[in-house]
């Protein structure tokens, strides 16, 4: 239900990972307006990334989109900006010093806003202890609350619009696929492939081409297409279809944020990347394979393993151990350029278990309070 108290919100976003940062911030901004009746101003330093996922956006210093005021975050930030009731610093992006000074002035007047640092998503256990911890700003004494999205009731939860799962269940996949120019073979697995560059894709494509089960792979425009073209020695682009053996690979246009949900709902299995598409794939309740953003010294593999521990926590009995092992092997091989083909073949025999587990996981997450609702509740307890 919408919140009965309307507050003003400033959300600051620096675009680091193409569409991940802006994807999360834009989705949160829209939900705060639509589901909770909040007044949101989104500050973003790269409007081109927003335009790609929300084509109604324009390259303007200021505009209204989906009830959200979107403002360009200029290097020289104006000092006369009205401070919001709730200030969100997305992913430790360091809000402008002049804005902090103005916040400090309000604090001295006994009217400090709520200041929240929205962190990156993680399943690591330590975030449960750090979630909602506060830290004083050394120069001003303003208190910043660290908010950690996550997969347990001791974290900040995940973004999930109020009617998302109902919309998913009412979605007519065949009609949307026809609109996209996709005519799937009823005998084939329909797979979406969205990932960073990955040399493991060569083995995956070869496995699909020589496998017994036909695969129709939809590739939205993105980084993985570079790796696909290198492995095939082709120059595939939007609209192209490549057939080899039992593999039919079809390149579709880069999708808007809304259309990407439709792709996930329409496919049998989804390869996803980063944070935003990873979360949306879990709400699709379909089997998924996650390509986590690579980090130095393989820190991302620790994060990947932490998620798998939570994701597979209910599969430790002897009956389900083989399934859990195959999931781990497939995900780790995809992220470490391992024998992705062998892992894929092994898991296909367990596809019904994979599908069932995906539905059960989605239902478990849906029973938790979503991220936007938790932020609204937190803002009610803090600030003016």
The DSSP symbol for 61 reads S
Which residues is 217 bridged to in the sheet? 191, 249
Q: Decide: 214 and 182 in contact? Cβ < 8 Å.
A: no
Angle, helices 20-36/257-266, rounded to nearest 10 degrees: 90
- In words, the CATH class of domain 164-366 is alpha beta
Of 269, 297, 292, 293, nearest in space to 281 by CA: 269
Neighbouring CB atoms inside 10 A of 249's CB total: 23
Catalytic residue among 10, 17, 21, 35: 21
Tokens of 250: 């079809």
- List pLDDT tens digits, range 287-307: 999 999 888 778 899 999 999
Q: What is the token pair recorded at 247?
A: 């593999």
What does the pLDDT read at residue 306? Answer: 96
Per the annotation, the verdict on 238 as an active-site residue is no
Q: For each of the chain's 384 residues, which pLDDT tens digit applies?
A: 444 689 999 999 999 866 789 999 999 999 999 999 999 999 999 999 999 999 999 999 999 999 999 999 998 998 889 999 999 999 989 999 999 999 999 999 999 999 999 999 999 999 999 999 999 999 899 999 999 999 999 999 999 999 999 999 999 999 999 999 999 999 999 999 999 999 999 999 999 999 999 999 999 988 999 999 999 999 999 999 999 999 999 999 999 999 999 999 999 999 999 899 999 999 999 999 999 988 877 889 999 999 999 999 987 676 678 899 999 999 999 999 888 998 999 898 899 999 999 999 999 999 999 999 999 999 998 865
User: What angle in degrees, to the nearest 10, is found between the helix axes of 340-348 and 318-335?
Assistant: 150
Q: Is 180 strand, coil or helix?
A: coil
Q: Is 147 left (phi over 0), alpha (psi -120 to 50) or beta?
A: beta
| Residue 160 dihedral angles phi and psi, to the nearest 5° | -155, 110
* The pairing of beta strand 114-118 with beta strand 143-147: parallel
Query: Alpha carbon of 308 to those of 53, 90, 289, 329, 371: distances in Å?
Result: 29, 25, 11, 11, 21
Q: Which of 85, 119, 261, 275 is catalytic?
A: 275
Which residues does 367 contact at the CB level (< 8 Å), separation at least 6?
none
Nearest to 45 by CA among 8, 67, 76, 68: 76
- Give 29-77 pLDDT, tens digit per residue: 999 999 999 999 999 999 999 999 999 999 999 999 999 999 999 989 9
Q: How many CB atoms lie within 10 A of CB 352?
A: 9
CB 101 within 8 A of CB 93: no
From the list 129, 85, 22, 11, the residue with the least C-alpha distance to 372 is 11
Residue 231: both structure tokens together = 């492995």
Tokens encoding 282: 């879990």
Active site residue 46: no
Give the pLDDT confidence score for residue 1 in this predicted structure: 45
- Terminal Cα-to-Cα distance of the chain (whole angstroms): 22
What share of the chain has pLDDT > 90, as a percent? 85
Closest CA to 324 of 359, 290, 357: 357
Under a CB-based contact definition with an 8 Å cutoff, are residues 14 and 21 in contact?
yes
**Nearest Cα to Cα of residue 323 among 355, 282, 278, 366:** 355
Alpha helix ranges (H) inside 119-239? 126-130, 164-170, 173-179, 201-210, 224-232
Torsion of CA 349, 345, 151, 160, to 10 degrees: -90
- The secondary structure of residue 29, as a DSSP letter, is H
Residue 95 Ramachandran class (φ > 0 left, ψ -120 to 50 alpha, else beta)? beta
């Amino acid at each position: 239900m919408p919140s009965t108290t309307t507050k003003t919100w400033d959300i600051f976003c620096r675009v680091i990972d193409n569409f991940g940062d802006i994807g999360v911030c834009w989705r949160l901004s829209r939900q705060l307006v639509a589901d909770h009746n909040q007044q949101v101003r989104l500050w973003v330093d790269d409007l081109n990334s927003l335009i790609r996922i929300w084509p109604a956006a324009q390259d303007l210093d200021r505009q209204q989109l989906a009830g959200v005021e979107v403002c360009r975050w200029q290097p020289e930030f104006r000092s006369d900006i009205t401070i919001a009731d709730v200030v969100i610093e997305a992913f430790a992006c360091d809000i402008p010093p002049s804005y902090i000074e103005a916040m400090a002035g309000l604090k001295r007047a006994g009217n400090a806003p709520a200041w929240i640092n929205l962190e990156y998503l993680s399943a690591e256990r330590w975030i449960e202890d750090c979630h909602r911890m506060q830290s004083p700003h050394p120069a001003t004494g303003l208190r910043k609350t660290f908010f950690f999205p996550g997969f347990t009731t001791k974290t900040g939860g995940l973004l999930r619009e109020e009617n998302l799962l109902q919309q998913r269940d009412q979605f007519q996949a065949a009609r949307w696929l026809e609109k996209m120019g996709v005519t799937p073979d009823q005998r084939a697995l329909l797979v979406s492939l969205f990932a960073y560059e990955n040399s493991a894709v060569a083995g995956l494509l070869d496995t699909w081409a020589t496998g017994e089960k036909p695969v129709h792979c939809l590739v939205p425009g993105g980084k993985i297409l570079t790796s696909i073209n290198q492995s095939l020695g082709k120059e595939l682009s939007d609209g192209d279809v490549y057939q080899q053996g039992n593999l039919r690979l079809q390149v579709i246009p880069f999708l808007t944020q809304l259309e990407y949900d439709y792709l996930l709902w329409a496919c049998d299995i989804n390869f996803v990347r980063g944070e935003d598409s990873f979360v949306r794939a879990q709400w699709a309740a379909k089997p998924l394979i996650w390509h986590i953003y690579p980090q130095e010294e393989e820190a991302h593999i620790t994060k990947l393993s932490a998620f798998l521990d939570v994701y597979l926590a209910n599969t430790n009995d002897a009956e389900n151990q083989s399934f859990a092992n195959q999931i781990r092997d497939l995900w780790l091989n995809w992220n470490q350029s391992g024998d992705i083909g062998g892992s894929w073949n092994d898991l296909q025999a367990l596809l019904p278990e994979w599908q069932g587990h995906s539905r059960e996981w989605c239902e478990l997450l849906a029973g938790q309070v979503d991220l936007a609702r938790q932020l609204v509740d937190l803002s009610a307890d803090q600030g003016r």
